[in-house]
């Protein structure tokens, strides 16, 4: 690694602040790149995150139910799926989907390929969270649902999952926040999400620190907003437990 | 009302019910007593098919479930409707208010009209003395109040038979009375009830008959005064002297 010699950082900052032309250039770039970055966020980063999270959650619930079902084959399929996803890097999975599958004649556009990759990922990780949450609901709840005549799906929908969702809200929020940050990997399979746009702009003007800093700031703002939403949701959920 | 024939239940190799025969007339309140592990809970749960008996048959109000052959889910559901269960630990749904707990069965399972179910649930909660608490969540209620919601929730299903598994044994002593009073009122209204309890007051004051169970069998049954004052079986005598000494009852 190369560190600037003593004084170089100061020189760099000086060169910016004492040089009105350079200063102006940086402000210009920051301003003009702001809109494209926001656009890419709204067009790709957020949709990719939200769609993948929804599909992923559905997949996760199904996988969790398969894991706790008494049917052996369901258990095995769920275990193998979770093990494969957790045991391989996300980036490798995305590359297989986008660059690998065409070899078999299966060609997927960048955005759908990313949605598939991220959904599969969320599905595997969140299934463990949801499984643990379901198992944490006391057996008496299933029995009470049984005795008032509920079917398995009614018990899940009305009694078990509402309670399990309270338990799993904090870990699932973490999953969502990780997902938002991980969508930057989609730039490597040519999805023009926010980070890819930042890369493209930086490639034209060489202001890497500025552009990547802007991207980092945007990710942080999104994740911070999300943590506020999480807090409110938790508060709502907690209305039925003693404090 | 209830007719139980040669009911057996095994958990793996462990035979917990070893052939139970019993009849309960309409409107009777039956109290089941017996040492821990004798199979009382299992017996009640079999009546509600929360456990599937290994063999034997149960008839409740002309609906018979014959457990010597496998029953379909539909048959089990239909049979389960005949009775409703009140649990030792209440098992209320914590994410629903008292009212929602009581309405849940009628609305989700029986697909009743919401308004009607709500009105009925309010009436039931008023009946068990909780008219003021209908919008409270379980955590806001005392144990005795929670158990009364549990009773209202069971009643909302309009069962032919009410099953109670030690409904007061998780309660602080000062809260036992309010729950027993609700059960006493129910019995007075002519509800058919099977109650597992060690509450001597209830057994003596309300029960039409007492069943003594031990090791998966009904050892003795009779009027409460007969069972408590002149038990004929050695095991009953031993059990009664034990609980009277330790005042568990
Ligand atoms: N699901 C189960 N699997 C295996 N064994 C069980 C199960 N449920 C109950 N048993 C066993 O069956 C026997 C009877 O249990 P049960 O709960 O019916 O007794 P009980 O009379 O209600 O006792 P208590 O007064 O302590 O509540 C016990 O030996 C218990 O360990
Ligand atoms: Mg018991």
- Span A95-101, average pLDDT: 96
CB distance B94–A143 less than 8 Å? no
Query: How far is the alpha carbon of B101 from chain A, nearest alpha carbon, in Å?
Result: 10
Contact A191, A94 (CB under 8 A): no
For A157, nearest residue in chain B (alpha carbons)? B108
- Span A46-50, average pLDDT: 97
For residue A201, name the pLDDT band (cuts at 50, 70, 90).
very high
How far is the centre of ligand 1, averaged over its atoms, from the C-alpha of B37 (Å)? 5
Contact A167, A87 (CB under 8 A): no
What global pTM score does this model have?
Answer: 0.88
CA distance B246 to B249: 8
Inform me whether the C-beta atom of residue B80 falls under 8 Å from chain A C-beta atoms. Answer: yes
Chain A / chain B CB contacts < 8 angstroms:
61
Retrieve residue B53's tokens: 């008996």
Poorest-pLDDT segment among A94-98, A116-120, B70-74, B113-117: B70-74
Higher pLDDT, B62 or A228: A228
pLDDT of residue A122: 97
Whether the CA torsion A134, A140, A142, A144 is positive or negative: it is negative
pLDDT of residue B246: 58
pLDDT of residue A198: 95
Inform me whether the C-beta atom of residue B87 falls under 8 Å from chain A C-beta atoms. Answer: yes
Poorest-pLDDT segment among A3-7, A108-112, A135-139, B54-58: A3-7
SS3 per residue for B15-66: EEEEEEEEEECCCCEEEEECCCCCCHHHHHHHHCCCCCCCEEEEEECCEEEE
Q: CB within 8 A of B182, min separation 6: which ones?
A: B128, B129, B148, B151
CA distance B238 to B73: 42
Rounded to 5°, angle at Cα A109 from A103 and A114: 100
Inform me whether the C-beta atom of residue B155 falls under 8 Å from chain A C-beta atoms. Answer: no
Percent with pLDDT over 70 in chain A: 97
pLDDT of residue A115: 98
Strand order across the B209-214 sheet = B83-86, B161-165, B192-196, B29-33, B209-214, B217-222
Retrieve residue B235's tokens: 């095991």
Question: CA dist A98 to A72, A94, B60, Å?
Answer: 33, 6, 63
Backbone angles phi, psi at B49, to 5 degrees: 50, 25
Q: Who lines ligand 1 at CB under 6 A?
A: B 11, 14, 16, 34, 36-42
pLDDT of residue B207: 92
How far is the centre of ligand 2, averaged over its atoms, from the C-alpha of A179 (Å)? 48
CA distance B234 to B232: 7
Question: CA dist A28 to A203, A207, A211, A218, B97, Å?
Answer: 16, 12, 12, 18, 58
Q: Which of B10, B17, B18, B42 to mutate to test the pocket of ligand 1 (most atoms within 8 A of CB)?
A: B42
Question: CA dist A226 to A177, A194, A233, B140, B192, Å?
Answer: 8, 18, 10, 31, 55
Which candidate from A138, A146, A240 shows the least CB-CB separation from B95? A240
pLDDT of residue B1: 87
Burial zone of A15 (CB within 10 Å; 0-12 exposed, 13-18 middle, 19+ buried): exposed
pLDDT of residue B249: 47
Contact B44, B194 (CB under 8 A): yes
Alpha-carbon B135 to chain mean position? 26
Q: CB within 8 A of B97, min separation 6: which ones?
A: B134, B135, B136, B137
Identify the CA nearest to A153 among candidates A62, A74, A60: A62
Contact B165, B92 (CB under 8 A): no
Q: What is the pLDDT of residues A130-171, one digit of tens each?
A: 999 999 999 999 999 999 999 999 999 999 999 999 999 999
For residue A74, name the pLDDT band (cuts at 50, 70, 90).
very high
> Closest-lying ligand to the alpha carbon of B239?
1
ipTM (interface predicted TM)? 0.91
For residue A18, name the pLDDT band (cuts at 50, 70, 90).
confident
DSSP A69: S
pLDDT in tens, chain B (249 residues): 899 999 999 999 999 999 999 999 999 999 999 999 999 999 999 999 999 999 999 999 988 999 988 899 888 989 999 999 999 999 999 999 999 999 999 999 999 999 999 999 999 999 999 999 999 999 999 999 999 999 999 999 999 999 999 999 999 988 999 999 999 999 999 999 999 998 888 888 889 999 999 999 999 999 998 998 888 888 898 988 887 765 544
CA distance B130 to B124: 9
Q: Give, using CA atoms, the residue closest to atom 4 of ligand 1.
A: B11
How far is the centre of ligand 2, averaged over its atoms, from the C-alpha of A8 (Å)? 78
CB distance A149–B81 less than 8 Å? yes
CB distance A239–B104 less than 8 Å? no
Q: Give, using CA atoms, the residue closest to atom 16 of ligand 1.
A: B39
How far is the centre of ligand 1, averaged over its atoms, from the C-alpha of A167 (Å)? 30
């Amino acid at each position: 690694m190369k560190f600037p010699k003593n004084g170089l950082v100061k020189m760099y900052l000086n060169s910016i602040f004492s040089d009105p032309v350079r200063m102006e250039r940086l402000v210009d770039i920051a301003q003009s790149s702001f809109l494209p970055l926001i656009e890419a966020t709204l067009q790709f980063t957020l949709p990719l995150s939200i769609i993948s999270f929804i599909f992923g959650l559905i997949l996760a619930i199904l996988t969790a139910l398969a894991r706790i079902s008494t049917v052996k084959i369901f258990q095995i399929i769920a275990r193998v799926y979770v093990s494969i996803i957790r045991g391989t890097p996300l980036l490798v999975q995305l590359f297989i989907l986008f660059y690998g599958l065409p070899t078999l004649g299966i060609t997927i556009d960048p955005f759908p390929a990313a949605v598939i990759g991220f959904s599969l990922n969320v599905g595997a990780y969140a299934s463990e969270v949801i499984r643990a949450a379901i198992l944490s609901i006391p057996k008496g709840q299933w029995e009470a649902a049984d005795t008032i005549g509920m079917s398995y799906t009614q018990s899940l929908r009305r009694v078990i999952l509402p309670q399990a969702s309270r338990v799993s809200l904090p870990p699932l929020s973490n999953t969502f926040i990780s997902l938002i940050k991980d969508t930057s990997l989609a730039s490597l399979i040519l999805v023009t999400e926010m980070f890819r746009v930042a890369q493209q702009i930086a490639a034209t003007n060489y202001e890497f620190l500025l552009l990547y800093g802007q991207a980092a700031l945007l990710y942080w703002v999104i994740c911070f907003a999300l943590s506020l939403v999480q807090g409110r949701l938790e508060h709502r959920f907690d209305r039925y437990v003693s404090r | 009302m209830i007719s139980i024939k040669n009911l057996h239940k095994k958990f793996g190799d462990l035979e917990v019910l070893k052939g139970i025969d019993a009849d309960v007339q309409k409107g009777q309140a039956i109290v089941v007593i017996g040492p821990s592990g004798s199979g009382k809970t299992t017996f009640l749960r079999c009546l509600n098919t929360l456990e599937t008996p290994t063999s034997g048959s149960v008839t409740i109000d002309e609906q018979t479930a014959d457990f010597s052959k496998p029953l379909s889910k539909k048959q089990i559901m239909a049979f389960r409707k005949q009775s409703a269960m009140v649990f030792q630990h209440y098992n209320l749904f914590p994410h629903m208010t008292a009212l929602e707990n009581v309405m849940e069965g009628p609305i989700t399972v029986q697909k009743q009209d919401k308004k009607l179910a709500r009105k009925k649930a309010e009436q039931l909660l008023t009946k068990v003395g909780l008219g003021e608490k209908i919008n409270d969540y379980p955590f806001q209620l005392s144990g005795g109040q929670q158990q009364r919601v549990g009773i209202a929730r069971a009643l909302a299903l309009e069962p032919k038979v009410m099953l109670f598994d030690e409904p007061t044994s998780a309660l602080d002593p000062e809260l036992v009375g309010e729950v027993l009073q609700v059960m006493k009122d129910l019995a007075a209204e002519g509800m058919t009830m099977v109650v597992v309890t060690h509450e001597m007051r209830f057994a003596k004051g309300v029960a039409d008959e007492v069943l003594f169970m031990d090791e998966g069998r009904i050892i003795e049954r009779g009027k409460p005064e007969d069972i408590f004052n002149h038990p004929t079986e050695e095991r009953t005598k031993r059990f009664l002297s034990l609980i009277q000494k330790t005042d568990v009852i």
